[in-house]
Chains A and B, each alone.
Chain A
Amino acid sequence: MQTTSLPTARTSPSRRFWNKRKLLQHTVSYFFLVLFALIMVVPFLWTLSTSLKGQDEAIYSMPPKFIPQNFTLENFATVWNSLPIPLYIWNSLILSFFGVVLPLLFCSLAAFPLARMNFKGKQLVFLTIVATMMIPGEVTMIPVYLILNKLGLLGTFAGIILPGAVSAFGIFLMRQAFVGIPKEIEESAIIDGASVWRIWASILLPMVRPMLATLAILSFIGAWNNFLWPYLILEDDSQYPLTLGLYKLKGTFVTNTRLIAAGSILALLPILIVFVAFQNYFIKGAYSGAVKG
């Protein structure tokens, strides 16, 4: 995209031409970049400013006020102290913990033979897993609910965790990572007499750490944001994760928008922190997603 400098002989007229052209291009680019960035952030800014507004300050006004007049943290204090938000956050953390650890474990276990072993039926297993990626969760929603019912898992955390414990996509991602490791590395370990489990755990797994991190982050976002399954199967409100809890709070007895805004900010914070800290893994995850298609 970038132009390296043009031949020097004709520099002065064409240089000036190019600079002018580049300047125009850059100005137009920044105009659109800033415009789209504003469209992206305005809903967040409005929510943040609402969460910081005092009780006596109007939420809606013409024009909207993005900077609170009476800046206050009392909404956050109220949300934290008098609503069950800390409990909801705790539930979200438990669900997210299992929502990350189980896929990491099971997907990297299953990916190992698919990437590094030869066995009868391997092709069939792999094709089945790829086909499974194509099944929309919306089609299996009803039977999964009925299975959870049969297993007595409705109303339990296990009922949310187990259906999401393995994803075909996760297996696929981990397999791609394992395939890239040179053969010599395990061969020498086998000669040294290491067991299969040792090879998996202490030689191969450390080598696919970046992909494990990608899978962990994608799983975390999915688990933290999970709404549908908690909504379908949880009944006791002491079990609600933050997403479902906020949804029910807004629908039932919290009419104060400032409090819901503060709760939304609390729900966004972990995502924002993880995103900023591990931004490169997100991009990598998105690209691996492209392979999926």
Chain B
Amino acid sequence: MYKSVHAWAFLAPAGLFLLVFSLGPAVAALILSFTSYNIFEPTEFVGFNNYMEVLKDSDFWRAMFNTFYYWILVTPALVVLPVFLAVLVNQALIGVKLFRLVFYFPALVSVVVTAFLWGWMFNSEGVLNYFLSIIGVEPVKWLTSKYVVMPSLAIVTVWQGLGYYMLFYLAGLQSVPEDLYEAAELDGAGFWRKHISITFPMLRPVIFFVAVVSTMSAFKEFTLMLTMVEGGPLGASTTVVYLVFDEAFKQLNMGYASAVSFLLFAVILALTLLNKRSLDRE
């Protein structure tokens, strides 16, 4: 009843955009990574040179370290804590819908405003240091110490992601058949027992999903580092994508930067597969 010319006519505009701004650029990035493209000099094909250079570059390894560090700070928290929140807001309590909205809202705040909000929280005389002073802890240099900056940024990311991932778990919880809990209660299972024996096993696919999504976004993060501390202090928060951004748009070494971005892409892919395999084996 439809002709295939119609199909292509409907697909054409979107197809063109995806081709020009997504698929094409992905291929172009791969090609660029084998060239010396840097705007100033004529472009040459350099084979694996960029990759060799990157692997010898201590900045790259530091950025890789920072990225893994950030990931380890962020992802376990974002996989575990939202389960807890979801269980909390999945109860029939008065006002629970409002709590869901409050928990979710930070996910919608732009990175610039987030950076302002938390920059003030982290001020040497800010709210966080006040709370620490109550329990007798010395003021912390949240954003100006190269040892503390990553944990500080991780706090912001966790704050912003808790409610977002909570929604996925909430959807998972609501698909658990009610009678499983009822049967467990008749058998005398308490709050914790019920959740350990029913909720967590049932949530396993969601846990995997959240682990993958939060891993990918942790490995790609750099606008938070840019807006809050510009990759500093002393490069302590320069993640791999921050390095890509810096090399490409500040140093204008676009070929080199493309090689860095592809190495990161490979790492993300490997981690995702590893994650999937370990989950399958269980």
Residues of A within 8 A of B (CB): 1-4, 21, 25-26, 29-30, 32-33, 36-37, 39-44, 46-47, 50, 60-64, 105-107, 109-110, 112-114, 116-120, 122, 125, 128-129, 132, 135-147, 162-163, 165-166, 168, 171, 186-187, 190, 196, 200, 221, 224-228, 232, 243-244, 246-247, 250, 257, 260-261, 264, 267-268, 271-272, 275-276, 279, 282-283, 286-287, 289-290, 293
Q: Does B278 contact A (CB under 8 A)?
A: no
A120 shortest CB reach to chain B, Å? 6
Q: Does B123 contact A (CB under 8 A)?
A: yes
Nearest residue (CB) in A for B173 is A1
B127 touches A246 (CB 8 A): no
Residues of B within 8 A of A287 (CB): 167-168, 171
A41 shortest CB reach to chain B, Å? 6
B117 touches A139 (CB 8 A): no
- When A30-B93, A132-B22, A142-B248 are in contact, do A283 and B167 touch as well, CB less than 8 Å? yes
A290 touches B22 (CB 8 A): no
Q: Which segment of B72-80, B98-106, B140-148 sits at the interface? A: B98-106
Alpha-carbon distance between A276 and B265 when the two chains are bound, in angstroms: 37
Number of interface residues of B (CB under 8 A): 92
B125 touches A140 (CB 8 A): no
- When A1-B90, A257-B120, A264-B113 are in contact, do A40 and B17 touch as well, CB less than 8 Å? no
Query: Interface SS of chain B: helix, strand, loop or mixed?
Result: helix
B17 touches A243 (CB 8 A): no
Residues of B within 8 A of A3 (CB): 182, 185
Cβ-neighbour of A47 out of B117, B133, B212 (below 8 A): B117
Residues of B within 8 A of A (CB): 1-2, 4, 6-8, 10-11, 13-15, 17-18, 20-26, 28-29, 32, 84-85, 88-93, 96, 99, 101-106, 108-113, 115-118, 120-121, 123, 125-127, 130, 133, 159, 162-164, 167-168, 171, 178, 181-182, 185, 190-191, 206, 209, 212-213, 216, 220, 222-223, 227, 241, 244-245, 248-249, 254, 257-258, 261-262, 264-265, 268
A200 touches B10 (CB 8 A): yes
A60 touches B123 (CB 8 A): yes
Alpha-carbon distance between A264 and B261 when the two chains are bound, in angstroms: 32
Residues of A within 8 A of B2 (CB): 113, 116-119, 196
Cβ-neighbour of B112 out of A2, A62, A246 (below 8 A): A246
A142 touches B258 (CB 8 A): yes
Query: Which 8 interchain pairs have the tightest Cβ spacing?
Result: A225-B110, A143-B25, A110-B14, A113-B7, A140-B25, A119-B4, A143-B28, A166-B17
B18 touches A132 (CB 8 A): yes
A106 touches B220 (CB 8 A): no
B254 touches A142 (CB 8 A): yes
A109 touches B26 (CB 8 A): no
Nearest residue (CB) in A for B119 is A250
Residues of A within 8 A of B99 (CB): 33, 36-37
Alpha-carbon distance between A7 and B244 when the two chains are bound, in angstroms: 65
Cβ-neighbour of B109 out of A50, A145, A271 (below 8 A): A271
B216 touches A46 (CB 8 A): no
Having A36-B162, A132-B18, A268-B109, one finds 8 other A-B pairs with CB under 8 Å, namely A1-B92, A36-B99, A40-B162, A50-B120, A109-B13, A141-B261, A143-B25, A282-B108
B21 touches A163 (CB 8 A): yes
- When A142-B248, A147-B20 are in contact, do A36 and B103 touch as well, CB less than 8 Å? yes
Alpha-carbon distance between A121 and B221 when the two chains are bound, in angstroms: 36
A128 touches B249 (CB 8 A): no
Alpha-carbon distance between A42 and B126 when the two chains are bound, in angstroms: 12
- When A29-B93, A136-B265 are in contact, do A227 and B130 touch as well, CB less than 8 Å? no
B33 shortest CB reach to chain A, Å? 9
Residues of A within 8 A of B96 (CB): 33
Alpha-carbon distance between A30 and B181 when the two chains are bound, in angstroms: 21
B49 shortest CB reach to chain A, Å? 17
B48 shortest CB reach to chain A, Å? 18
